[in-house]
Amino acid sequence: MSIQYQGLVTHGLASQIADKIKQAILEGALKVDERLPTEEELAQRFAVSRPTIREALKRLAAQNLIRSRRGPTGGTFVNQPTQAETRLMMANATALLVSMGELSLADIAETRQELESLCCRLAAERRTDEQLQVMREEISRQREPTLSDQDFCASDVRFHRTLIAAAHNPALDLASAGVIEALQPAINLMVFRFRDRAQVADQHAAIHQALMARDGKAALCALTDYMDVLTTQYQAAQAANEQPKISAKTTPTAQTSKTSKANTSTSLSRQARSKKSAP
Amino acid sequence: MSIQYQGLVTHGLASQIADKIKQAILEGALKVDERLPTEEELAQRFAVSRPTIREALKRLAAQNLIRSRRGPTGGTFVNQPTQAETRLMMANATALLVSMGELSLADIAETRQELESLCCRLAAERRTDEQLQVMREEISRQREPTLSDQDFCASDVRFHRTLIAAAHNPALDLASAGVIEALQPAINLMVFRFRDRAQVADQHAAIHQALMARDGKAALCALTDYMDVLTTQYQAAQAANEQPKISAKTTPTAQTSKTSKANTSTSLSRQARSKKSAP
DNA sequence: AAAGTACCATTTGTCAGACAAATAGGAAAT
DNA sequence: ATTTCCTATTTGTCTGACAAATGGTACTTT
């Protein structure tokens, strides 16, 4: 009568073991940089074979929770999670959502604008002289006529990352990671004319100046101008990219060893079709 | 003389294969729900053994990029990333950073307040009647005196998640995931007195009423009050928790059949010792 | 005696083959 | 026609082994 109809097993041995070790790390039973037992010893402890242990460890390694080294002093160690790594992971996950069409660029752009507005207000109080210096360097780089388009975009990203860093709140930095990096591929598709570049650089300079004067409102205005230009440019680039759609798609699978790669025709148009929700 | 001194191998075969498959998915060569070859076939294609392929697939499975099923119609399929899963992953990563002391609760609390303030402004325009209804239900639940402490906290989280959802911006929802969920364990440590509960419920009601009237400023004021109460409560709980260290924690893991593992000295105190960052 | 070198022990990385488990489809029996 | 059983296919796990890396140790040489 008292048969348990649930709670048997649903996710395989390796998955369960991975969860147990992860839980141990989360609870602090395994401290950072602590070496956990050998794979063979773990196999004995959990009463499974070594490949199963290895699969469990691989799952954890994929999440940057542990690292492994060979040799006598080697073994498996608990990784200390870094803000930079977490940030990278979030950016990747967000980019994946975008490429799969689960997130619209319009939503991301709005969130980015709101978050950077927030950063403008906080950075006006907290920015350091070093961050202002970095901004100046990027602005002068952006005014270099010989800069390639992608270098220009990279510099743009660095400027805005500096703006966010100037807010001096790591949690806010982390929360902004996705919306900043996920927007970069779209921006990279734009080719800025010389006049646009100057405009962008001027707006960056305006932000920099406002932050130097600790004037949050002025920084916010400059940021808003920048965002307006960006959306205008994006719409123009989108319109220009809708015409040449003749590019033949390569057969989807077809990948043996090296022949991957190809088009990046990630349906620009569909993603851009995001709207405001009708009440 | 033209020897390549770099780019040999740095991360093992399985890692390289995982990266290749991941890149194929990212570039669209492998579409969603598409079945990729069997493990044996992949092993032949990449000229490695099946365990190596399996380790590569496990790495991808740990990132929710693929799923596997057994049987004739089984195999490995490309997963469609979901906002909910991505959100969960971000929440986990943030919680890990907090438990490792890489993120201070003060920074998270500030970011949460700013993000929710933002949501108040947006939600005042965009909230739906259904979301108002959900808020009403949670508020009435929070006024139930028989509710347990953790159920009260869970209801609190649901209320604020509804507030964020009412902003109707998936990207903002995603960005807020970490700071909302990462703060919950800290809140769970608090035991609310009856008077505090009534206060929280009243502030929730004030937010709800302001959103119903589409008054963003009023919602923001109510939210600010709520946050003030929360930080006050937290500081009180923190001070109270520093004295009584005698409380015995229940064994967290509680192994089933295997006699593995041992102590789980879940140093409570270390996690709670977070403070404000000195500028 | 000090320093360099060769060897060795330990641990993860990879390979090979095999069996177990799950699952869908088809064949056979009622 | 429906149910039941069998079978083929694919992943999950086990066993055993060898390869590669890496630090320590003992030996040799200066």
Q: What is the mean pLDDT of chain B?
A: 82
Determine whether the interchain pair A47/B258 forms a contact, defined as Cβ–Cβ distance below 8 Å.
yes
Per-residue confidence (pLDDT) for residue B26, from 0 to 100: 85
Using CA atoms, how far apart are residues A263 and A258, in angstroms rounded to an integer? 15
**A249 to chain B: closest CA residue:** B29
Q: Look at A251 and B18; give whichever has higher pLDDT.
A: B18
Which residue in A122, A261, A279 is closest to B27 by CB distance? Answer: A261
Q: Which nucleotide is nearest to A76 (CA to C1')?
A: C12
Average pLDDT over residues B10-29: 86
**B145 class by beta-carbon count within 10 Å (0-12 exposed, 13-18 middle, 19+ buried):** exposed
Share of chain B above pLDDT 90, in %: 53
Q: How many residues does chain B have?
A: 279
Using CA atoms, how far apart are residues B214 and B13, in angstroms rounded to an integer? 57
Using CA atoms, how far apart are residues B86 and B82, in angstroms rounded to an integer? 6
Per-residue confidence (pLDDT) for residue A265, from 0 to 100: 33
Using CA atoms, how far apart are residues B161 and B124, in angstroms rounded to an integer? 15
Nearest to B14 by CA among A48, A84, A87, A55: A55
Full DSSP string of A186-224: HHHT----HHHHHHHHHHHHHHHHHHHTT-HHHHHHHHH
Determine whether the interchain pair A277/B168 forms a contact, defined as Cβ–Cβ distance below 8 Å.
yes
Chain B partners within 8 Å of A107 (Cβ): 169-172
Which residues from 70-89 of B have any strand C atom under 7 Å from their CB? 70-74
| CA to C1' distance (Å), from A48 to D7 | 30
Chain B: give the shortest CA distance to residue A50, in Å. Answer: 12
Question: Which DSSP state fits B248?
Answer: P
Q: How many helices (H) and strands (E) does chain B have?
A: 12, 3
Q: Which nucleotide is nearest to B75 (CA to C1')?
A: D10
Chain A partners within 8 Å of B265 (Cβ): 28-29
Per-residue confidence (pLDDT) for residue B241, from 0 to 100: 64
Q: Which residues make up the CATH 1.10.10.10 domain(s) of chain A?
A: 13-78
Q: What is the pTM (predicted TM-score) of this model?
A: 0.79
End-to-end CA distance of chain A: 53
Question: Does A129 contact B at CB distance below 8 Å?
Answer: no
Per-residue confidence (pLDDT) for residue A100, from 0 to 100: 87
Determine whether the interchain pair B102/A111 forms a contact, defined as Cβ–Cβ distance below 8 Å.
no
Using CA atoms, how far apart are residues A102 and A100, in angstroms rounded to an integer? 6
Q: Which residues make up the CATH 1.20.120.530 domain(s) of chain A?
A: 84-240
Tokens of B161: 């998640």
Per-residue confidence (pLDDT) for residue B242, from 0 to 100: 62
**A4 class by beta-carbon count within 10 Å (0-12 exposed, 13-18 middle, 19+ buried):** exposed
**If you search the block for the tokens 């969860």, which residue do you land on?**
A19
Using CA atoms, how far apart are residues A205 and A214, in angstroms rounded to an integer? 14
Neighbours of B249 (CB within 10 A): 10
Catalogue the long-range contacts made by A196-205 (C-beta closer than 8 Å, 24 or more residues apart). A196/A229, A196/A233, A197/A142, A197/A143, A197/A152, A198/A143, A199/A229, A200/A142, A200/A156, A200/A226, A200/A229, A201/A139, A201/A142, A201/A143, A203/A229, A204/A135, A204/A138, A204/A139, A204/A142, A204/A156, A204/A159, A205/A139
Determine whether the interchain pair A28/B266 forms a contact, defined as Cβ–Cβ distance below 8 Å.
yes
Using CA atoms, how far apart are residues B60 and B56, in angstroms rounded to an integer? 7
Contact B167, B124 (CB under 8 A): no
Using CA atoms, how far apart are residues A110 and A142, in angstroms rounded to an integer? 24
Nearest to A179 by CA among A91, A267, A252, A258: A91
pLDDT tens digits, one per residue of B186-218: 777 776 777 788 888 999 999 999 999 999 899
Which residue in B55, B63, B100 is closest to A32 by CB distance? Answer: B100
Those residues with Cβ within 8 angstroms of residue B252's Cβ, 6 or more apart along the chain or in another chain? A23, A27, B264, B266
Q: Which of residues 212-251 of A touch B (CB under 8 A)?
A: none
Per-residue confidence (pLDDT) for residue B7, from 0 to 100: 47
Q: Residue B159: enclosing H or E segment and its boundaries?
A: helix B149-165
Q: Where are the alpha helices (DSSP H) in B213-264?
A: 216-242
pLDDT tens digits, one per residue of B147-187: 988 899 899 999 999 999 999 999 999 999 999 888 887 77
Q: Which of residues 181-210 of B touch A (CB under 8 A)?
A: none
> Hey, what CATH topology would domain A13-78 get?
Arc Repressor Mutant, subunit A (1.10.10)
| CA to C1' distance (Å), from B54 to C9 | 30
**CA distances (Å), origin B278, targets A81, A126, A169:** 21, 12, 11
- CB pairs < 8 Å spanning A and B: 196
Using CA atoms, how far apart are residues B228 and A111, in angstroms rounded to an integer? 25
Strand D closer than 7 A to residue A74 Cβ: yes
**CA distances (Å), origin B57, targets A22, A89, B68, B76, B85:** 19, 18, 9, 9, 19
Per-residue confidence (pLDDT) for residue B10, from 0 to 100: 62
Contact A21, A36 (CB under 8 A): yes
* Amino acid present at B174: L
Tokens of B204: 């929730």
Nearest to B134 by CA among B188, B204, B220, B229: B204
Average pLDDT over residues B11-40: 89
Using CA atoms, how far apart are residues B148 and A229, in angstroms rounded to an integer? 52
- Domain covering B84-240 assigned CATH 2.60.120.10 in the classification: no
Q: Is 50 exceeded by the pLDDT of residue B251?
A: no
Using CA atoms, how far apart are residues A208 and A136, in angstroms rounded to an integer? 7
Chain B: give the shortest CA distance to residue A144, in Å. Answer: 32
| CA to C1' distance (Å), from A54 to C11 | 13
Nearest to A65 by CA among A53, A77, A73: A77
Residues of chain A with pLDDT under 50: 1-7, 245-279
Strand A75-78 and strand A35-36: the pairing is antiparallel
